[in-house]
Amino acid sequence: MQRFFISILILAFSFSTQAQGIARPKLVVGIVVDQMRWDYLYRYYDRYAPNGGFKRMLNQGFSCENTMIPYTPTVTACGHTSIYSGSVAAISGITGNVWWDRQQMRAVYCAEDKSVNTVGSNSALGKMSPKNMLVTTICDELRLATNFKSKVIGISLKDRGGILPAGHSANAAYWYDNTNGNWITSTYYMNELPKWASDFNDKKWVDKYYEQGWKLLDSISKYQQSTADEKSYEAKPFGPKFPYDMKNFIGKDYGKIATTPMGNTLTSEFVKAAITAEQLGADNITDIIAISYSSPDYIGHTFGPNSVESEDGFLRLDKELGALLDFLDSKAGKGQYTVFLSADHGVAHIPEYMKENKLPGGRVYTNAMMNQLNKDLKEKYNISNIVVSDDNYQLHLNHPLLDSAKISKKELTQWIVDKLSSDSGIARIFAIEDLYGVPLPPDVRAMLNNGYYPSRSGDIQIILKPGYIDAYSATGTTHGLWNPYDSHIPLLWYGWGIKQGKTNKEVKMTDIAPTLAALLHIQMPSGCVGKPIEEVLK
């Protein structure tokens, strides 16, 4: 009799569980801040608003304080792909923003797709899709898990920031056309913009922002976390210093908006329009919106992480994020949505800023180095264009040319290594096939290995000294290396299903997607190598 009652209870519980359905949030909001070092959470903490985004997520959500990128190069396309796929370039095939493709013998842009056309503009900037990404994302897996009833939308000023996270099966991805100030997409997703997106474009938001210009939130004296406003090693796209009058760009130059905090505002407004019009999070079938804020990257490259511009940019982004959370409370309902915030990479300080403070740093002009190499190799072999690319801190050799000329690749590679090894900014240079024979810390070797995909990677690896950057000009800075300033990123969780707290345990960027998979009770993406962060989940 006792067994009978136990069986009845189990059966009743089973029916109850089925009737209730799987518990999931109404909406998942993924936020990637393009070029956000982890230390920005605390560098500007005292100036963030109490009701802004960063303090709210830090104090009411969960922070993974020691989140690291497990591969190189630490650049935008790789970061967005890794966050949403849980994979690395060795599997996803996204080895950089651009890579030299050995099979096609040309440079390939990560999101290019010549088979599709632009929607929403007459430019060619919409000829994009996720086809070069060889894995699924968590967005694809949610679509599969709900038999494609979930809606997925990706939004970013950068095409790659919207396309790669949203995955192959997304309902839409939208990005910014800097030739006319419109949000666009491609025929991969649809044949015409929805009315809400066209209506948004018709409002000419960018011209309105240019009319306002870029003024500081507070008096310059309050920017104590930054160096002087006017520095020779900062680029000057708008003039020498604040305030920046931008009226002369109205109707003429729609690219400049990206290098201001107003690029984030434009993104947020388009996100809100998309959530409202597409009714994301309006029913019990979980949707995902993948948002990437690109302007911090443009600002950081141009002015550096210690600039007044960067500080003002993050103070304003904090307000944008706070307003977005308020909007989500009103639309999806407080406690009914889950947010995660991370970054695709960090950034190095401007080398000249380092030097003026007696810290190590410098510039290495690898493109000029490649051009000089080709001149020297022409003299040596009487053949042009032997080194075809310096993308992603690697040198790529022209293999068909070497084969036809019967030049020993091993001897040529060693000649290049010997020639460049004395450069003052290079810490290591070696044939990639010798990776496991070169004395390196295991973590650095693993990062290089995780970034290698045979047909899309090079022949010779360059590792710069700490504080050194791959430069194309004498101003600004960049990212892409293994060092913590490039690879240590924030990871905040907030909302439905999330504990309150923090951990200093090391986790990886690749752990984000499987954590979402555990939260949503769905399969991990097809190339996932990460593990769920159990401390985050209730």
pLDDT digits (tens, 9 = 90+) for 388-404: 999 999 999 999 999 99
pLDDT value at residue 14: 36
Give the gyration radius of the chain's Cα atoms.
24
DSSP string, 346-364: --PPPHHHHHHTT---EEE
Q: Residue 62 is inside which H or E element, if any?
A: strand 62-68
- 501 within some domain: yes
Check pLDDT > 70 for residue 10.
no
Residues 117 and 14: their CA atoms lie apart, in Å, by 50
416 and 367 housed in the same domain: yes
Residues 39 and 346: their CA atoms lie apart, in Å, by 9
Check pLDDT > 80 for residue 249.
yes
Please name which of 235, 287, 281 lies closest in space to residue 259, comparing C-alpha atoms.
Answer: 235
- 120 within some domain: yes
* Cα 291 versus chain centre, distance: 10
pLDDT value at residue 13: 38
Q: Which amino acid is located at 511 in the chain?
A: D
Cis amide bond preceding 73, omega within 30: yes
Q: What are phi and psi of 72, to 5 degrees?
A: -130, 155
Total domains present in the chain: 2
Per-residue pLDDT averaged across 282-296, rounded?
97
Catalytic hit among 76, 227, 260, 267: 76
374 and 506 housed in the same domain: no
The percentage of residues in the chain with a pLDDT greater than 70, rounded to a whole number, is 96
Check pLDDT > 80 for residue 24.
yes
- 282 within some domain: yes
- DSSP lists the bridge partners of residue 71 as none
Residues 512 and 502: their CA atoms lie apart, in Å, by 15
Check pLDDT > 50 for residue 1.
no
Among 437, 465, 493, give the residue marking a domain's end.
465
pLDDT band at 20 (very low <50, low <70, confident <90, very high): low
Q: Residue 156 is inside which H or E element, if any?
A: strand 152-156
Per-residue pLDDT averaged across 111-122, rounded?
98
pLDDT value at residue 137: 99
The percentage of residues in the chain with a pLDDT greater than 90, rounded to a whole number, is 96
DSSP string, 461-512: EEEEPTTEEE-SSSS-----SSSHHHHEE-EEEEETTB-SEEEEEEEEGGGH
Please name which of 394, 440, 346 lies closest in space to residue 68, comparing C-alpha atoms.
Answer: 346
- 9 within some domain: no
Helices (H), 126-232: 138-145, 159-166, 195-202, 205-212
Pairing mode, strands 152-156 and 287-293: parallel
Check pLDDT > 60 for residue 122.
yes
128 and 176 housed in the same domain: yes
249 and 178 housed in the same domain: yes
Which residues, 6 or more positions from 307, have their beta carbon under 8 angstroms from its beta carbon?
226, 227, 231, 234, 299
User: Distances from the Cα of 510 to the Cαs of 82, 121, 244, 455, 499, in angstroms?
Assistant: 6, 35, 39, 23, 20
What is the sign, positive or negative, of the torsion defined by CA atoms of 187, 258, 304, 67? negative
Say which CATH number the domain at 436 has: 3.30.1360.150
Task: For the chain, give the mean pLDDT.
Answer: 95
344 and 370 housed in the same domain: no
Helices (H), 221-292: 262-278
DSSP string, 69-114: --SS---HHHHHHHHHHS--HHHH---SSEEEETTTTEEEETTB-T
Residues 143 and 140: their CA atoms lie apart, in Å, by 5
367 and 226 housed in the same domain: no
3-state SS, residue 271: helix
Structural domain that includes position 448: 362-465
Check pLDDT > 90 for residue 293.
yes
Among 419, 434, 465, give the residue marking a domain's end.
465
Say which CATH number the domain at 251 has: 3.40.720.10
Check if the beta carbon of residue 105 is closer than 8 Å to that of residue 95. no
User: Distances from the Cα of 120 to the Cαs of 129, 165, 371, 412, in angstroms?
Assistant: 15, 21, 39, 49
Please name which of 408, 308, 265 lies closest in space to residue 44, comparing C-alpha atoms.
Answer: 308
Check if the beta carbon of residue 318 is closer than 8 Å to that of residue 48. yes
Check if the beta carbon of residue 135 is closer than 8 Å to that of residue 85. yes
Please name which of 215, 133, 66, 62 lies closest in space to residue 525, comparing C-alpha atoms.
Answer: 133
253 and 372 housed in the same domain: no
Check pLDDT > 80 for residue 427.
yes
197 and 308 housed in the same domain: yes
Check if the beta carbon of residue 471 is closer than 8 Å to that of residue 348. no
- 15 within some domain: no
Q: Which residue has the tokens 């690291």?
A: 68
204 and 289 housed in the same domain: yes
pLDDT value at residue 21: 79
Check pLDDT > 70 for residue 333.
yes
270 and 346 housed in the same domain: yes
- 1 within some domain: no
- 13 within some domain: no
Q: What is the pLDDT of residues 126-182, one digit of tens each?
A: 999 999 999 999 999 999 999 999 999 999 999 999 999 999 999 999 999 999 999
281 and 190 housed in the same domain: yes
76 among known catalytic residues = yes
- 210 within some domain: yes
Check pLDDT > 90 for residue 17.
no
378 and 257 housed in the same domain: no
Please name which of 108, 106, 165, 107 lies closest in space to residue 135, comparing C-alpha atoms.
Answer: 165
